């Protein structure tokens, strides 16, 4: 299994695991450090994992940042500055 993404609430990833609904049928991932879990229960652990790993807003920001940095470079900005811009933005997202 690939590394679990950090909890979107507390940004830690050392205490994340599955929990089952009381009837044992549905599952989701929970951060046991802060208690965060998405408000959803899924049929399989695979679906629950996919949901935990999915970060649509983060992905949207990352794609936008990549586009901005690429546009800067394409418009004549130097490669090092474009790279530094991306690195700064990446750090802010962590
Ligand atoms: Zn947490």
Distance between CA atoms of residues 1 and 23, nearest Å? 26
Average pLDDT, stretch 43-69? 92
Highest mean pLDDT among 14-18, 72-76, 77-81, 86-90: 14-18
The tally of domains found in the chain comes to: 2
In this structure, the answer to whether residues 61 and 20 fall within a common structural domain is: no
DSSP 81: H
Average pLDDT, the chain: 91
Distance 37 CA to ligand 1 centre (A): 8
pLDDT tens digits, residue range 13-29? 999 999 999 999 999 99
Distance 36 CA to ligand 1 centre (A): 5
In this structure, the answer to whether residues 1 and 41 fall within a common structural domain is: yes
* Residue 8 structure tokens: 């979107």
In this structure, the answer to whether residues 23 and 50 fall within a common structural domain is: yes
Structural domain span for residue 68: 57-93
Whether the pLDDT of residue 86 is over 90: the answer is no
Q: Report every protein residue that has its C-beta within 5 angstroms of ion ligand 1.
A: 7, 9-10, 31, 33-34, 36
DSSP 3-state of 54? coil
Distance 6 CA to ligand 1 centre (A): 8
In this structure, the answer to whether residues 10 and 34 fall within a common structural domain is: yes
In this structure, the answer to whether residues 14 and 31 fall within a common structural domain is: yes
**pLDDT attached to residue 32:** 97
Do 23 and 12 form a contact (C-beta atoms < 8 A)?
Answer: no
Q: What are the distances in angstroms from CA 59 to CA 14, 65, 74, 81?
A: 22, 10, 22, 22
**pLDDT attached to residue 12:** 93
């Amino acid at each position: 299994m690939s590394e679990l993404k950090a909890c979107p609430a507390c940004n830690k990833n050392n205490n994340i695991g599955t929990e089952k609904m009381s009837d044992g049928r549905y599952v989701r991932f929970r951060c046991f450090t802060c208690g965060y879990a998405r408000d959803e229960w899924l049929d399989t652990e695979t679906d629950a994992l996919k949901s935990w790993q999915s970060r649509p807003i983060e992905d949207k920001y990352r794609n936008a940042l990549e586009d901005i940095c690429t546009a800067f470079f394409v418009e004549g900005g130097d490669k090092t500055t474009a790279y530094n811009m991306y690195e700064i933005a990446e750090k802010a997202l962590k």
